[in-house]
């Protein structure tokens, strides 16, 4: 390139820059990915997390697993998870705060000031405050379900009113920006419901088809009403010590919240 050609090239740079800017402005901007903070903790039920997390992954959300530190956290099935954010590094502003269940672990969280403080602080700013299974007990203990309709696993959902919530015994309960779901498998129902709010119903339907969510359980025993009194009584007897511990923590949270 001679001196004259080099000068012409330099003169063309402002025009080229203008063309690039015009093309960029004409291209539709992509909406920001929903920022979802998913609490993990020792003793949690893995399926409570994985069901919604699968939906959020297909939705291409910015999903963060959050705990006090990044050491492996044991779940109910022995598969360990590690957080990619701590309470200190988790963004203050989340689109979704999510808490999974696992009764023993949930009880421990209810009495842990650090956990309650984190859940309270992020929940106060989050666009949606959500849970599956006994995760709603943690939300309630943090004062985040006071004045809201909510649900939980069937054997502890009656504890929610102690902490200011209004019990609604449904698989997924939506009250303004609070979404709570019942036990374990309802996490997929919850995930799809929230996907429709974060995106739209067509997107949620596509995700449902992608994961082939078309449940046909082999037995009619998925609720106390279907299972009958004998089987329900057996489960309650087996879980009685944990349920009693959950009630004790709910009573203490009630006192702490001034209800």
Catalytic machinery residues:
133
**Close Cβ partners of 113 (under 8 Å, ≥ 6 residues apart):** none
Q: What are 25's two structure tokens?
A: 């402005």
- Do residues 65 and 38 touch, judged by C-beta distance below 8 A? yes
> Quick one: which of 156, 185, 162, 186 has its CA closest to 174?
186
> Quick one: which of 124, 141, 133 has its CA closest to 177?
124
Q: What is the DSSP letter of 248?
A: H
- Do residues 110 and 141 touch, judged by C-beta distance below 8 A? yes
- Do residues 150 and 173 touch, judged by C-beta distance below 8 A? yes
Q: How many CA atoms lie within 13 A of 128 on its CB side?
A: 24
- Do residues 105 and 42 touch, judged by C-beta distance below 8 A? yes
Cα gap 95→73, rounded to integer Å? 24
> Quick one: which of 98, 100, 251, 101 has its CA closest to 163?
251
- Do residues 180 and 129 touch, judged by C-beta distance below 8 A? no
Cα gap 74→45, rounded to integer Å? 10
Q: What are 57's two structure tokens?
A: 């992954």
């Amino acid at each position: 390139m001679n001196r004259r050609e080099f000068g012409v090239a330099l003169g063309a740079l402002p025009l080229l820059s203008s063309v690039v800017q015009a093309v960029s402005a004409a291209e539709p901007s992509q909406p920001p990915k929903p920022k979802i903070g998913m609490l993990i903790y020792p003793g949690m039920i893995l399926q409570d997390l994985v069901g919604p997390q699968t939906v959020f992954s297909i939705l291409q959300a910015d999903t963060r697993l959050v705990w006090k530190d990044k050491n492996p956290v044991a779940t109910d099935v022995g598969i360990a998870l590690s957080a990619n954010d701590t309470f200190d590094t988790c963004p203050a502003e989340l689109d979704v705060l999510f808490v999974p269940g696992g009764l023993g672990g949930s009880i421990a969280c209810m009495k842990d000031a650090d956990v309650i403080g984190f859940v309270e602080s992020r929940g106060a700013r989050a666009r949606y405050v959500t849970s599956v299974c006994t995760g709603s007990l943690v939300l309630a203990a943090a004062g985040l379900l006071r004045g809201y309709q909510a649900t939980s696993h069937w054997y502890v959902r009656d504890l929610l009113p102690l902490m200011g919530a209004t019990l609604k015994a449904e698989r997924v309960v939506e009250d303004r920006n609070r979404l709570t779901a019942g036990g374990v498998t309802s996490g997929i129902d919850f995930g799809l419901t929230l996907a429709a709010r974060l995106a739209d119903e067509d997107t949620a339907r596509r995700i449902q088809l992608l994961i082939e969510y078309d449940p046909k359980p082999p037995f009619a025993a998925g609720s106390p009403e279907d299972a009958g009194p004998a089987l329900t009584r057996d489960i309650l007897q087996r879980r009685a010590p944990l349920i009693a511990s959950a009630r004790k923590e709910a009573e203490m949270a009630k006192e702490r919240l001034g209800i």
